[in-house]
A and B are shown apart, each in its own frame.
Chain A
Amino acid sequence: MIRFVLALCLSLSALSARAVTIDEVTSPGGISAWLVQAHEIPFVSLEISIRGGANLDEPGKRGAVNLMMALLEEGSGDMDARTFQEARESLAASYAFQTYDDTVSISASFLNENQDQAVDLLRQAVVTPRFDPDAIERVRAQVVANIQSEAQDPGSIAGDAFYAAAFAGHPYGSSLNGTLESVAALTRDDLLSAHANTLTRDRIYVGAVGDITPEQLGILLDHLLGDLPATGPALPDRVEFGLTGGVTVIDYPTPQSIALFGHSGIKRDAPDFFAAYILNHIFGGSGFDSRLMQEVREKRGLTYGIGTYLVPKDLSEMVLGSVASGNDTMAEAIGVIQDQWAQIATNGVTQEELDRAKTYITGEYPLRFDGNSEIASILVGMQMIDLPTDYVINRNDYINAVTLADINRVAAYLFKPDALHFTVVGQPEGLTTTP
């Protein structure tokens, strides 16, 4: 019995890049998914996210989830790594398995002409991975190389130091790759535990786009995911951003310094989130109009690029930014950023800036729906933050409803010049670590 529902068939065609109609599907086995049918091109893109991710690394096993996910394509069922990849390549299907702090994800695209085989093979990778000893060692060596490379990369050095200070004692405080020591110590049993803990059905989110019907998708999902464990362990607790205002300089021999900066942020489900989103766009968002791009790059030529971001993670939230500048100009760049931070907190933005930002943000939104896998990712992202399907229709109204008073009220508490911490990697002239 197929229990798919078409309760909400909402069309975004009025304003969207594509006539995006979202079907809410529930499989016979009870897995829910959002589907956008697109029958013009004979393939399907599938995006699956499972909440938990590297946050579920057990104590002393940092890097286990990441290594486990990387091994899913390295042998499963009765196939070793090479046999598996030969089978995948013959089908011209693509699979990607990724690890993030809060989630793991499975992304796939496959042709209609061999969809059943492509899904069988994907199921095999997800449900019955082998974790062969030779594969473990091969991928472990790749992870180790990444850890070593990041230890030499100024941007990664800055990130590691910043997060370690901001989230000490929490998974967010260390790289999901793990450390050289923790990765070296991981065993096959650790990977099996990580697999059982992470790939579970109780917090799974599915988006599908392409040449497939709701009935077909329901059957596909039960086959693909139905044999995963029903539940997983509890997620870690929330953590508050723990860095205070100031500067940390990490000496590194490079002609150009890089800085990561930020402080605590705003929750994704906060009523003020839309105002904060617009505010960040005006201040340091994408494009050349942002205040920081104007002040730091266009007027002063101090950088090639600068940006700020709202980072609402599951268990904490930040306002973050990054900039690269010559060792002789980084101090000046930081001074400009601090000034701008104080200015927007005190004076807010102008009506003209707000109007311009709204036009961009509302105009840009439909352009995101520009490919099967892009739309599938959007569908998953919406479900993960509990948005309804009609969000795609109403989202621009939410943006347009934000007033100048809202924005400036939010600016006064979101931007905290005294709390702003800069972690600088390089040999910046005239900058030292503050006490």
Chain B
Amino acid sequence: MFRNAIVAAAFTIPATLAHAEIVTTHTLDNGMQIVVVEDHRAPVVVHMIWYRTGSADEPPAVSGVAHFLEHLMFKATDTMDAGEFSTVVAANGGSDNAFTSFDYTAYYQRVASDRLELMMQMESDRMNNLALTAEDIETERQVILEERSERVDTDPSAIAREQMLAAQYMNHRYGTPVIGWQHEMEALDQGPVRDFYDLYYSPNNAILVVAGDVNPDEVILLANSHYGVLPAEEGLPERVRPMEPPQLAERRIVYTDERVSQPYVTRTYLAPERNAGDQKEAAALTYLSEILGGSSFTSVLGTKLTFDTQVALFTGAGYDGISLDKTTFSVTVAPAEGVTLQAAEDAMDAAIDQFMQDGIDPVQLERIRSQLRASEIYAKDNVEGLAQQYGAALSSGLTVQDVKDWPATLQAVTAEDIMLVAAKVLDRKQSVTMWVTANDEDP
């Protein structure tokens, strides 16, 4: 029911893509990139605008401004009232929403395909003509503060995640939460919001993704008449962010909160992301994540810690390769009743060490490979998911070709590729380990 979702570190998208889908691309004269994904099974269309700007592009001291602006995009423009955008979408039987991540901010509507032009007309209007009144800013600041309370302050694991990322990224903006630090959110006013909007909300910083029952030539014509008339932002900066220095010392943190009912230990390792023309390591890491912690029944951590021994209640691993800059690879263990966090962490390390010595079970590898292949078939049933994959990838430094190549890159991964990347990434010197517990004494 809530719109304006924050997309945290991992924006989960099916790992592979139905690349057999008919995809058309085009770039308008003002630099706006267009991707059209055809799916004619239903007279429905998803219309999305992705800005290549997220919270990691914010200037210092105004954390949360990207997400705040996302909320304010539903307020008044020069010709539309606050809230009118969503009202018009709803009056046309559609639904709309928006989300902000570290690397992108996206707006989408899902409507009958004959309403596409109306969506373009309104979306192009708010790309250029947002009013940003003082009154809207006052009220909406309260809403984002309530949102922070609801999403973060009332949830100890969300607080822990913030602390973890802040510890992982010493220099990069990924260490600052997308929603913002509370004290900076409280001070957000018109100035930084206006600056952020004026600089980044421009056609040459946007990707239009249209997916559904549409004719690509018509989409491009419509886009040209609505978005093509907007001026490009000449001063759009290169996306250069403060980069992480090499991590030389392992970091450890403990988050204690009496509301924690199930303690857990989690570790993140700095890891390479998918890069344009170079996705092989990321593909191998995708497998590594599945092998170590994908299935709670058949993964390395699941098997060793919940079946061979009863150290853990649950285990997991996580990796998302769609990221503009360096991402993380994570492993998590929640100890069983009576097992300390230290014992759980030791068992996790022992399992990983053993895996590094034993290598990969070829049967497990092939199981994962066929599931990745099958997910391409299942993904064809969800055109909105396909649209999201293109939007997230293209706003995170990847190209259409990279997205198309990804399934084949995944299928080509070998056991050797995975062990090589595992040896490189699973290095405790470039990791953060966090214990989350209800009391300072280890349970």
A261 close to B (CB within 8 Å): no
Which residues from A are CB-within-8-Å of B87?
A: 288-289, 356
Flag if A149 contacts B146 (CB, 8 Å): no
The answer to whether B424 has its CB under 8 Å from any CB of chain A is: no
Known: A138-B306, A356-B91. A89 touches B86 (CB 8 A): no
- CB of A124 within 8 Å of the partner chain: no
Which residues of B lie under 8 Å from residue A17 when comparing CB positions?
Answer: 42-44
Q: Quick check: is A370 within 8 A (CB to CB) of the other chain?
A: yes
Interface check B83, CB cutoff 8 A? yes
B83, B90, B149: the one contacting A326 at CB < 8 Å is: B149
Complex Cα–Cα for A325 and B143 (A): 10
A350, CB-defined interface residue at 8 Å:
no
Is B346's beta carbon under 8 Å from chain A?
no
- On chain B, the residues within 8 Å of A258 by CB distance are 154
Does A41 lie within 8 Å of B93, measured CB to CB?
A: no
Residue of B139, B258, B314 near A300 (CB, 8 A) is B139
Q: How far is the CB of B23 from chain A (nearest CB, A)?
A: 17
Chain A: CB-nearest residue to B334? A145
How far is the CB of A331 from the nearest CB of chain B, in Å?
15
Contacts of A365 in B (CB 8 A): 93
A388 within 8 A of B: no
Do residues B143 and A301 form an inter-chain contact, with CB atoms below 8 A? yes
The answer to whether B150 touches A92, judged by C-beta atoms less than 8 angstroms apart, is no
Q: Interface residues of A toward B: which range?
A: 35 or more
Asked if residues A256 and B153 are in contact (CB atoms below 8 Å), the reply is yes
Q: Which residues of B contact A310 (CB under 8 A)?
A: none
The residue in B147, B150, B371 that gathers the most chain A C-beta atoms within 10 A of its C-beta is B150
Contact assessment for B377 and A43 in the assembled complex, using a CB-CB cutoff below 8 Å: yes
- Cα–Cα, bound, A81→B70 (Å): 46
Question: Which residues in chain B, 68-82, are within 8 Å of chain A measured between CB atoms?
Answer: 74, 82
Chain B, 351-393, CB within 8 A of any chain A CB: 363, 367-368, 370-371, 373-375, 377-378, 380-382, 384
CA A287 to CA B337, docked complex, whole Å: 43
Task: Verify B378–A109 contact, CB threshold 8 A.
Answer: yes
With both beta carbons as reference points, the residue of chain A lying nearest to B43 in the complex is identified as A17
Considering the complex, which residues of chain A in the window 240-275 have a beta carbon less than 8 Å from any beta carbon of chain B? 253-256, 258
Q: 8 Å CB contacts to A: which residues of B161-203? A: none
Asked if B295 lies at the interface with its beta carbon under 8 angstroms from chain A, I say: yes
Chain A residues with CB below 8 A from B142, complex form: 300-302
Q: Which residues of chain A are within 8 angstroms of B139 by Cβ–Cβ distance?
A: 298-301
Contact B150 A304 (CB under 8 A): yes
Q: A89-B298, A148-B262, A255-B154 are in contact. Are A364 and B378 (CB under 8 A)?
A: no
Residue tally, chain B, CB below 8 Å to A: 67
Option from B91, B149, B363, B378 in Cβ contact (under 8 Å) with A360: B91
Q: Which residues of chain B are within 8 angstroms of A16 by Cβ–Cβ distance?
A: 42
Kindly identify which residue among A38, A92, A297, A372 contacts B371, using a CB–CB cutoff of 8 Å: A92
Asked whether B95 lies within 8 Å of A367 as measured between CB atoms, the reply is yes
Task: Let me know if A335 is at the binding interface, CB within 8 A.
Answer: no
Please give, as numbers and ranges, the residues of chain A lying within 8 Å of B94 by CB-CB distance. 363-364, 367
Nearest-neighbour CB distance to chain A for B147, whole angstroms, equals 4
- A3 at the binding interface (Cβ < 8 Å): no
What is the CA–CA distance of A41 and B378 in the complex, to the nearest angstrom? 8
Residues of A within 8 A of B337 (CB): 141, 144
Nearest CB on A from B363, distance (A): 8
Chain B residue at minimum C-beta to C-beta distance from A373 = B381
B261: CB under 8 A from chain A?
yes
**B residues less than 8 Å from A366 (CB atoms):** 44, 93, 112
CB distance from B369 to the nearest CB of A (A): 10
B226 interface residue per 8 A CB criterion? no
**B41 with A18: CB separation less than 8 A:** yes
What residues of B have a CB within 8 angstroms of the CB of A300 in the complex? 139, 142
CB distance from A148 to the nearest CB of B (A): 4
CB of B350, distance to nearest CB on chain A (Å): 20
In the complex, chain A residues whose CB is within 8 Å of the CB of B86:
287-289
A395 to nearest B CB, angstroms?
A: 13
In the bound complex, CA of A286 to CA of B307 (Å): 43
**B150, A324: Cβ atoms closer than 8 Å:** yes
How long is the Cα–Cα vector from A41 to B262 in the complex, in angstroms? 42
Q: How far is the CA of A146 from the CA of B103 in the complex (A)?
A: 34
Residue of A nearest to B71 (CB): A304
Chain B residues within an 8 Å CB radius of A109: 378
Are A356 and B146 touching (Cβ within 8 A)?
Answer: no
A85 with B261: CB separation less than 8 A: no
In the assembled complex, the Cα of A85 lies from the Cα of B364 at a distance in Å of 11
**Residues on A with beta carbons closer than 8 Å to the beta carbon of B82:** 298
Interface flag for A90 (CB, 8 Å): yes
- Contact: B91 with A359, CB < 8 Å? yes
**Contact A81-B374, Cβ < 8 Å, known A41-B380, A86-B367:** no
B370 near A90 with CB under 8 A, answer yes
Answer whether residue B28 sits at the interface, using C-beta atoms and an 8 A cutoff. Answer: no
Does B429 belong to the interface (CB within 8 Å)? no
Contacts of B149 in A (CB 8 A): 255-256, 304, 324, 326
User: A340 in the interface, Cβ–Cβ < 8 Å?
Assistant: no
Name which residue of chain B comes closest to A74, CB basis. Answer: B297
A18 to B44, CA, bound (A): 9
B240 at the interface (CB under 8 A from A): no
* Assembly CA distance A47 to B150 (angstroms): 33
Which A residues are CB-close (under 8 A) to B222? Answer: none
Decide if B42 touches A89 in the complex (CB within 8 Å): no
Do residues A305 and B93 form an inter-chain contact, with CB atoms below 8 A?
Answer: no
Q: Does B230 have its Cβ within 8 Å of any Cβ on chain A?
A: no
Q: Do the beta carbons of A42 and B377 come within 8 Å of each other? A: yes
Q: Are A254 and B154 in contact (CB under 8 A)?
A: yes
Other than the given A141-B336, A142-B313, A370-B384, 14 more pairs (CB < 8 A) read: A17-B42, A18-B42, A43-B378, A82-B303, A138-B306, A141-B337, A154-B154, A253-B258, A287-B86, A287-B90, A301-B143, A359-B90, A364-B95, A367-B93
Give me 6 A-to-B residue pairs in the complex whose CB atoms sit less than 8 angstroms apart, sorted by A's number: A92-B370, A149-B261, A154-B154, A298-B83, A301-B139, A359-B92
Enumerate chain A interface residues (CB-CB to B < 8 A).
16-19, 38, 40-43, 81-82, 84-86, 89-90, 92, 109, 111, 138, 141-142, 144-145, 148-149, 151-152, 154, 253-256, 258, 286-289, 294, 297-305, 307, 324-326, 356, 359-360, 362-367, 369-372
- A-B pairs, top 5 by smallest CB distance, nearest first, are A363-B93, A301-B142, A92-B374, A85-B297, A256-B149
